[in-house]
Each structure stands twice: as structure tokens, then as C-alpha cells.
Amino acid sequence: MYVCLCNGITNNKVAEVVAQGASSTKQIAEACGAGADCGRCRHTLRAILHSATRAPVR
């Protein structure tokens, strides 16, 4: 499903970026653009990070 409508980024792409080492919404934005524009998807990005890492998200 699309997570970031501004940049057309899917949850699979975000999960891929997290698997490659991104550990914050800023790092996700730098890697693929999700969360870099309007910011409405940042809550979802944090949820994906938390699910993938089970650690507190910055």
C-alpha cells in the first residue's frame, strides 16, 4: 500500500530502506523521499520502524 502519497512510496519500499539500516524518519526521507514533503506519513513511517525494529523510534 502507498505510505507516502506525495512521493508514491509504498510500505514495501519503506521496509526495504529500514532493512538496509534506516533507523529514523529522517533517514527514511533521505533514502527514499517518504516523509520529506508534507509530513502526513511520518506517523506511519514511525509505526513501520517500530514494527521492524521493536525499538523506540527517533
Q: How does pLDDT run along the chain (58 residues), one tens digit per residue?
A: 999 999 999 999 999 999 999 999 999 999 999 999 999 999 999 999 999 887 666 6
- Tell whether 58 is covered by a domain: no
Q: What is the pLDDT of residue 57?
A: 60
- Tell whether 31 is covered by a domain: yes
The CATH number given to whatever domain includes residue 48 is 1.10.10.1100
- Tell whether 29 is covered by a domain: yes
- Tell whether 18 is covered by a domain: yes
Task: Report d(CA 19, CA 51) in Å as an integer.
Answer: 12
Q: Is the dihedral of CA 20, 9, 7, 36 positive or negative?
A: negative
- Tell whether 45 is covered by a domain: yes
Q: Which domain holds residue 33?
A: 2-53
Integer CA distances (angstroms), 1 to 48, 55, 56, 58, in order: 12, 23, 24, 23
pTM of the shown model = 0.87
